[in-house]
Amino acid sequence: MRGQVVWVTGASSGIGEHLAVDLARHGAKLVLSARREDQLDRVKDKCLEGSPVLRSEDVLVLPLDVTKFDTHQAAFDKVINHFGCLDVLVSNAGRSQRCAWEEAELEVDRRVLELNVLAVVSLTRVALRYFLRRGGGHVAVTSSLAGVEGVPFSCSYTGSKHALHGYFNSLRNEKMGSNLTVTILCPGPVFTNFLSESFTGKVDQKFGESARPTDKRMSAERCAHLCAVALANKLDEVWMAPRPILPLIYLFRYYPTIGRALFKFLGPKYLLKLRDSRQTVEAE
């Protein structure tokens, strides 16, 4: 991907930050977007320090609140004005959620869908029109293994990630033969601030718990590197998680009857503990 222009949203921390650093190490030019400009400047410095070829003008810091849909076209125009082109859009911004299904307020569902789905769709459509005029391009979205199989105690988040699969699988099939690549990235549990920043069942309330060093999670660096490998090889969909989560996802997807029986045996609380390395939601 050396020399390609890659726009990463949600680039101020977590998977987005480490993906930007990994791509910079291999010579990709970058657009870094998130709401916190100071953190984007910090990530830019890391990208330049880790790259043998990039100069300051090769990394554009572009602060953006992706939920402000009317700013997407102007932000895209800034990218084109700066670099003259865009090769890859990686929509990585998003938030998780934890609560019992019946406890979620409808406004929480709306906000999760607005951030995790509608913001992604809106920005992708802006880039897509450009890619189709240009004759090709690459759009990628960070989904989750929760978008492959429904997980307990994260109803709004799971619904939003399933929606992403619907939108982007539809896009891939519709534009087949148009030289457009669509990649869906599906991480499992990762060491980031994702859990503490998660929605709960109530509006304007954060979950507040942090990952522990003893949790069984993939490092953000490892996950980001696998995402970069998927982008470089233009893969359709990739699943990334430690054992036993990844084998269970394969079982649920390819042997659903057996997977459902195993699910009933293990129970939802076990799957919650497997996901968060402890029981983080009190529920019957």
- Residues catalogued as catalytic: 157
What are 185's strand-pairing partners?
A: 142, 238
Q: 194 to each of 13, 80, 198, 274, 276, how far by Cα in Å?
A: 10, 31, 6, 16, 11
Residue 217 near residue 242, CB atoms below 8 Å? yes
Q: Which residue is associated with the tokens 């939802």?
A: 268
The three-state secondary structure class of 63 is coil
What are 240's strand-pairing partners?
A: 187
Q: Which residue is associated with the tokens 């430690």?
A: 242
By C-alpha distance, which of 138, 118, 119 is closest to 128? 138
CA gap 109, 191 in Å, rounded: 25
Element (H, E) at 44: helix 37-50
Residue 6 near residue 29, CB atoms below 8 Å? yes
Distance of CA 175 to the CA centre of its chain: 22
Element (H, E) at 221: helix 220-232
- Torsion sign, CA atoms 68, 71, 72, 78: negative
CA gap 155, 145 in Å, rounded: 13
CA gap 5, 85 in Å, rounded: 7
Distance of CA 106 to the CA centre of its chain: 23
